[in-house]
């Protein structure tokens, strides 16, 4: 069995043989070609086992990929240039933030410092959020049909802006997804190369703020994750792996790479560490465990209490943005071994921008 965790700085491989022995492989992550870092780490593990990578993959009964690449994309704001099509009149939903964005997810001690609190900045600029005429009520009845011609004009505007991905988020699509599906189909016909996603697929629950945030984040990291996993799957098959590549998901399970949700990969690497720590805790009869993952870009913490890890169905990610996606609870901050120190003109700051696996890299 092979497990991989691709972080912003290092890619780690764990190989478990039939006897239960562990072999570890490690290599710097290659940000511009993520699959190369995985293959380099596999080569490192294969050498330790005195095997070739082809033999290692050919004998493997499973291969699971976990990662913090999505997490790092959020921390460093290096995702795809994303636009959104929503119900006309609801263009400001992810900016209004139910009037709680400034304090959402903060500890009471942090809330006291009102003078320094700021609203989280959505990952889609306001100018790239377009409202189209359509309306479905809470019972799923179509009140106003989708204006397809208006939709096409709005999509053309977003394409001229150079968007790489478009999120479709309509009011009450959880009751009737017809308009979202029609809109997504039109967008894909107009721009097959653009990544398109729908809110009812990512967060099929009521409360449009959390649902809009969920599809925003899934679409923001989606192009990177989809391209990488497809290339990695192709490379694994070229090297002799004959089974289905699995991806670790933040809710604690796995999915085939072609069916996974990009939002589910966020923190999937640290979540794997939480699950493993719980198993080790049981063996050692230690029901209370604090897990830490010290990476080059982020520092991740999880807690196991009385043998159970914490879960959150509406987690807050990236400093105050609440989503509707079940997750094993992991707290991440943008402070790792490669975090860059910089000045805002008054104070010395550290992170969240990181040099990753490129030591000495500077950002201006």
pLDDT at 343: 84
Q: Where in the chain is the domain with CATH 3.30.420.40?
A: 2-73+225-270
pLDDT of the residue at 279: 93
Q: What is the DSSP letter of 128?
A: G
pTM for the model: 0.88
Q: Which helix (H) or strand (E) holds 277?
A: helix 268-283
Rounded CA Rg of the chain: 22
Q: Are 34 and 53 in contact (CB under 8 A)?
A: no
Residue 363 pLDDT: 46
Q: Which CATH fold topology does 78-221 show?
A: Rossmann fold (3.40.50)
Residue 362, CA distances (Å) to 189, 236, 358 in order: 40, 33, 9
Cα 219 to chain centroid distance, Å, stands at 9
List CB contacts of 192: < 8 A, sequence separation 6 or more: none
| Closest by Cα among 124, 128, 7, 28 to 77 | 124
- Alpha-carbon span 3 to 100, nearest angstrom: 39
Structure tokens at 289: 């465990």
- Enter the tokens of residue 213: 């945030």
State the pairing for strand pair 299-305/308-309.
antiparallel
Residues 6+ apart with CB under 8 A from 154: 85, 130, 132
Q: Give every CB contact of residue 360 below 8 A, 6+ residues apart in sequence.
A: none
Query: What is the full per-residue pLDDT of the chain (364 aa) written as tens digits?
Result: 999 999 878 899 999 998 889 999 999 998 888 999 999 999 999 999 999 999 999 999 999 999 888 887 887 788 999 999 999 999 999 999 998 888 888 888 888 887 778 888 999 999 999 999 999 999 999 999 999 999 999 999 999 999 999 999 999 999 999 999 999 999 999 999 999 999 999 999 999 999 999 999 999 999 999 999 999 999 999 999 999 999 999 999 999 988 888 999 988 888 988 999 999 999 999 999 999 888 777 788 999 999 999 999 999 887 789 999 999 998 877 777 778 888 878 888 887 777 766 665 544 4
CATH 3.40.50 domain range(s) in the chain = 78-221
Pairing relation of β-strands 22-28 and 10-16? antiparallel
Q: According to DSSP H, which parts of 99-239 are helical?
A: 108-111, 148-160, 178-190, 199-202, 208-238
**Would you give the distance in Å from CA 56 to the centre of its chain?**
29
Task: Return the CATH fold of 2-73+225-270.
Answer: Nucleotidyltransferase; domain 5 (3.30.420)
CB atoms within 10 A of CB 233: 20
Segment holding 47, helix H or strand E = helix 34-48
Contact present, 57 and 236 (Cβ < 8 Å): yes
Asked whether the bond before 352 is cis by omega within 30 degrees of 0, the reply is yes
In terms of C-beta density within 10 A (0-12 exposed, 13-18 middle, 19 or more buried), how is residue 79 classed? buried
C-beta separation of 264 from 255 below 8 A: yes
Rounded-to-integer distance, Cα 354 and Cα 358, Å: 9
Q: Is 306 exposed, middle or buried (0-12, 13-18, 19+ CB in 10 A)?
A: exposed
Angle made by CA atoms 246, 251, 254, in degrees to the nearest 5: 15
């Amino acid at each position: 069995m092979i497990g991989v965790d691709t972080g912003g700085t290092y890619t780690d491989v764990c190989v478990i043989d039939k006897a239960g022995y562990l072999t570890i492989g490690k290599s710097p992550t290659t940000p511009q070609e993520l699959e190369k870092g995985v293959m380099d780490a596999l080569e490192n593990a294969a050498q330790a086992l005195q095997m070739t990578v082809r033999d290692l993959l050919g004998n493997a009964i499973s291969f699971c990929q976990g990662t913090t690449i999505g997490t790092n994309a959020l921390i460093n704001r290096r995702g795809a240039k994303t636009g959104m099509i929503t119900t006309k009149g609801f263009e400001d939903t992810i900016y209004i933030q139910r009037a709680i964005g400034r304090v959402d997810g903060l500890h009471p001690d942090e809330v006291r410092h009102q003078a320094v609190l700021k609203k989280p900045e959505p990952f889609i600029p306001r100018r790239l959020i377009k409202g189209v005429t359509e309306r479905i009520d809470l019972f799923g009845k179509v009140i106003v049909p989708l204006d397809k011609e208006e939709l096409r004009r709005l999509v053309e505007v977003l394409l001229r802006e150079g968007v790489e991905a478009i999120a479709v988020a309509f009011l009450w699509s959880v009751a009737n997804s017809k308009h979202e599906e029609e809109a997504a189909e039109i967008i894909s016909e107009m721009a097959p190369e653009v990544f398109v996603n729908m809110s009812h697929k990512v967060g099929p629950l009521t409360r449009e703020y959390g649902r809009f945030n969920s599809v925003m984040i899934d679409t923001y990291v989606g192009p990177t994750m989809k391209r990488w996993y497809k290339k990695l799957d192709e490379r694994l098959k070229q090297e002799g792996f004959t089974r289905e590549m699995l991806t670790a998901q933040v809710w604690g399970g796995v999915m085939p790479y072609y069916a996974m949700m990009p939002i589910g990969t966020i923190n999937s690497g640290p979540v794997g560490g939480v699950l493993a720590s719980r198993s080790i805790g049981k063996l050692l009869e230690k029901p209370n465990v604090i897990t830490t993952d010290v990476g080059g870009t982020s520092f991740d913490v999880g807690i196991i209490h009385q043998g159970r890890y914490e879960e959150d169905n509406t987690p807050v990610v990236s400093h105050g943005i609440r989503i509707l996606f079940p997750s094993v609870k992991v707290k991440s901050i943008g402070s790792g071994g490669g975090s860059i120190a910089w000045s805002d003109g008054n104070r010395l700051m550290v992170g969240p921008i990181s040099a990753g696996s490129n030591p000495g890299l500077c950002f201006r």
